[in-house]
A = this chain, B = another copy of it.
Amino acid sequence: MNQSSALTYLEEHQDRFQAELIELLRIPSISHDPAYKEDMDKAAGWLADKLRSMGMDNVEILPTSGHSVVYGEWLNGDTSAPTVLIYGHYDVQSAEPLEDWKSQPFEPEIRNDNLYARGASDMKGQTLAAVNAVEAIVKSETLPINIKFLIEGEEEIGSKHLNEFLIANREKLACDFSLNTDAGGMPDADTPSICYSLRGGAGFLLEIFGPSQDIHSGGYGGVIQNPINVLSKLIGDMHDEHGHVTLPGFYDKVRKLDEEERAELARLPFDEESLLKHSGAPALWGEPEYIPAERIGARPTMDVVKFEAGQLKSAIPAKATAWLSFRLVLDQDPAEVHGQLRQYLTTHAPPTVKWNLDFLGGNPAVITNRKSSEVLAMKDALQTVFGKPPIFQRVGGGIGAVLMFKQTLGIDSVLTGFSLDDNIHGPNEKLHLPTWKKGMVALIQFFHNLVDK
C-alpha cells in the first residue's frame, strides 16, 4: 500500500492544520479551574466539529461527572484490520506564573519554527497530530484500519472521571490497542522515541496546625513551635543526604532493573549536560548509584509541589500546608506509600503540633510490551521517517489513561509523541513545528504498517 496521496494531502493542508491548532490553543481549557468551564466546553466542541468535518462517524460529546469526552469513529476498515483507540486530551495546565511568559499563553506566537502557547505540546499539538494524520488518509485514500477517538478533558487533573467513563462505555470502546501520543520526550529533533514504562504517582495534602490562630512571634517565639518550622523539618528529613526517600519501607517493593535493561538505559541520551541545559539547574541531584535515565524512569521520588504558610507579618501562623507528589515505580502500591507516609508522620511529627494528611489519589506504574506487533509497527514507521530507530525509554511522568486502558479495557498502549524539550507545565511551553509535521508523516506510516505487516 502506498501512502503518497496522504502525504500530498498533508503537505497541501499543512497551513490549515497549523491555523487550526492555533485556533484550539486560543481556548484556555484549564481543567482544574471551574472558572474555565465554558472554555472547556468550547474546546470539546471545537474538536467534535473537527472530527465531523473530516468525516468521522458518530461524533459525540459524551458527558462524565466532570469534563466531557469527545468521541468519534471510523469503522470502515477491513474486518481483519485492527481497531485503534486514539487517545488525546484537550485540557491544559494553568499558565501561572504569567509574568514568565514571553508571549501570552493563550495567544499563540511563532518564533523560530516554534509555536509558543500553553498546550502547544501537552497535548493539543500531539492530539491534532494524530487527528490530522487520520484526516490525511481518510480524505485522500482508503483508511486501511478502524479508528476510535477518545479525547478527554481531565488529564491534567488526574483523569478523575475517565475510568468510570471507560467502565460505562466498554463496548463502544472495544478495540485492539490504543495509540497515545502524550508520552513524548524525543531527546532531540532527529531521534524518535517509544515509551514502554511510565511512573505512577501518589499525591498528598499535609497540614500542620500549631496555635489556634496566628500569634505574635515576639510574644510567643521560644515557647510555641512554629508550624512552618515543623513542616520544613518533616519535609527536609524525608530525604537522606544521598537523595533517598526515608519513609520506612519505601523501597521494599521497588522492582530492580536487570542488567540488560540497565545497559539499554545507559545508551539513552539523558546525559548530565543535556539535563542541565534543559532544566537550567546548577547541578544534577539524586541517588548516586543510579544513572539519570534510571533515576527518571525506574526510581521513585518525592517532590513538594507547593508550600504555603504565613504572611508578611511578625506572627507564628496557625497552620502550614504542603502538597506532596510522589512518583512511583513498579511494584510500589500508592496505598502502601500512603501508609508509609502516615507512619513517618506518626513517628516524626512533634507533640507541639497537630497534623492532617489527605490522600489525594494515586496510581501504580505501568510497563507495556515492547515486542508487540503494534509497537514494532511504530518502531518501523519512526525509523522510516526519521532515518534511525527510535530509542525505547522509561518516562518519569504518568499517564492515567494508559493504566486505566490496561486495567479496564484490557488493552496496551503504543506510546510515542513528538515533543522535544517543550517546557510543558511551565511558562513558554512550545511545539517545534517541523517535528510536529514529521510526526504526522510517521503516524500515517504507522497506520499503513499496521496492515502491511
Contact = CB atoms under 8 A, between A and B. Distances in A.
Interface of A: 32, 93-94, 96-97, 100, 156, 185, 199, 201, 210-226, 228-229, 231-239, 243, 270, 275, 278-287, 292, 295-296, 299, 301-318, 320, 322-323, 325, 327, 350-354, 395-398, 423-428
Nearest to A228: B304
Contact of A315 (B218, B221, B425): B425
Contact of A301 (B96, B222, B281): B222
Contact of A279 (B199, B215, B295, B301): B215
A255 to B, nearest CB: 16
**Max chain B Cβ within 10 angstroms of own Cβ: one of A100, A295, A307, A397:** A307
Given A211-B280, A231-B232, A306 B307 contact: no
State the copy count for this chain.
2
Contact of A235 (B219, B236, B303): B236
A277 B305 CA distance: 35
B327 A221 contact: yes
A235 B308 CA distance: 14
Contacts of A320: 307
7 contacts: A221-B303, A223-B275, A226-B303, A231-B307, A232-B235, A232-B236, A314-B397
A386 B408 CA distance: 76
Nearest to A101: B213
B212 A281 contact: yes
Contacts of A302: 229
Contact of A228 (B97, B235, B284): B235
Nearest to A226: B303
A239 B235 contact: no
A266 to B, nearest CB: 15
